[in-house]
Every structure is written in C-alpha cells, then in structure tokens.
Amino acid sequence: MNMKLALFCYSFNVIGLFIFGLIYTFSGEFLPFHSDAIQMSWDDLSPPQQTLYLGMMRTEGAGLLSSALAIAALLMFPFRKREVWSYWAMTLIGLVEHVPSMLGAYYTSQATPASSPWQLNLLGIVLLVLGLAFALGDRNR
C-alpha cells in the first residue's frame, strides 16, 4: 500500500509539473497574476518587454517540463524495480524545481497585488516528501 501512495505522490507532481510546463512554454502572453504583479496588461508592454516575459516564462516552462519528464522516467524504470536511489532522486529533482519557484511566487504575492500560486508549489513539496516517506517505509517491510 505504501508504494501505491508513493506512486500517487510522485505522479501528482509529474502531472502538475507537466501541465504548468506546457502552459508556461506555449503561452502567447503572460498569465493574469503576472499582470496583477506589474499592474499592466499584456498589450501595454512594449515588444521588447513582451519578448523578455515570454523568454522568462519559457525558461521556467522548460524547467518544469524537464523535471516532470525526469521524474516520470524514474517512475517507469527504477521506481518499479524498487531501487531506493530513485526515491531520493525524484524527491531531489522535484525540490530543485519547486522550492525556488515557490519562494519567487511567495515573494511576488507579498510584494505586489498579485496572487501568485505559491501554494501549488508547497503542495508539490509536501507530496514529494510524503512520497519519499511512503517509499522508504515500504522498504522496511
């Protein structure tokens, strides 16, 4: 049962990271909370500013997609073989993506009128730690 719970926790991260990675990578303009943060609409930005925002979003999107794909690959192969190193690797990969993203989004929420979704990163972090705990707990059975 613990391995099923661990699989759920890690899979939830894969799906979330993948969806947000696609949104950030393929969006043609910034998201509503970005507009709230700078108190300007997309159309009010100059073309160079728009290019900069899209470049930053696509960079974040690439990180999200890379993390999702790395965790998914680890789930498909070493996790299924119950290789303990993969539990740690998936957790570390997810934390490296979630923690800086959460801190940036939290700071934006505190310093601007924007309501950045930092809570989603926190949920991902909690699920990664729970996934690790479930997987390691199952190993001791």
> pLDDT tens string for the chain (141 positions)?
899 999 999 999 999 999 999 999 999 999 999 999 999 999 999 999 999 999 999 999 999 999 999 999 999 999 999 999 999 999 999 999 999 999 999 999 999 999 999 999 999 999 999 999 999 998 655
Q: What is the dihedral of CA 62, 68, 74, 80, to 10 degrees?
A: -160
pLDDT at 139: 63
The pTM score is 0.93
pLDDT at 141: 54
- Where are the alpha helices (H) located in 27-46, listed in sequence order? 32-38
pLDDT at 60: 97
Angle between helices 84-111 and 118-139 (to 10 degrees): 160
What are the percentages of helix, strand and coil residues in the chain, rounded to 5? Answer: 85, 0, 15
pLDDT at 138: 81
